[in-house]
Amino acid sequence: MRKDIILSRRKIRFLMIKNNLVSKYTKLKYRNHKTMVNNDQISNVLNRQFNNKKPNEVVVSDLKYVQVGGKWHYICLLIDLFNREIIGYSAGPNKPLN
């Protein structure tokens, strides 16, 4: 004879832990990976003076990650602050090691 029993997820979780049960279906969880961080102090050379007089006097970069087709890719831009022109870029699924 079949009995319809209604339980909350919390009650099911409690019973599974109590009886050492593990679900065959589990969701993949993101794990945070610890990495070394560069904490060096960098001097403020520009001091917010972004109006440069000559081309290629100050070049800045920006690195962004974007999802392409469900996978993460990077794009790195080199921008000349003289005229805000993109003077170089790199993109792909993996950052170069150099």
| 44 lies in some domain | no
Cβ atoms 77, 89 nearer than 8 A: yes
Q: What is the mean pLDDT of residues 78-97?
A: 88
Q: Domain total for the chain? A: 1
Q: CB of 56 within 8 A of CB of 80?
A: yes
Examine residue 67 and state whether it is found in any structural domain, yes or no.
yes
48/52 Cα distance (integer angstroms) = 11
Going by pLDDT thresholds of 50, 70 and 90, the confidence category of residue 30 is confident
Output the pTM of the full model.
Answer: 0.51
Examine residue 74 and state whether it is found in any structural domain, yes or no.
Answer: yes
Confirm whether 23 is domain-assigned.
yes
Please indicate, yes or no, if residue 2 is contained in any of the structural domains.
no
Identify the band that residue 33 occupies on the pLDDT scale cut at 50, 70 and 90.
Answer: confident
* Higher-pLDDT residue of 20, 35: 20
Residue 71 has pLDDT above 80, yes or no: yes
Residue 25 confidence (pLDDT) above 80: no
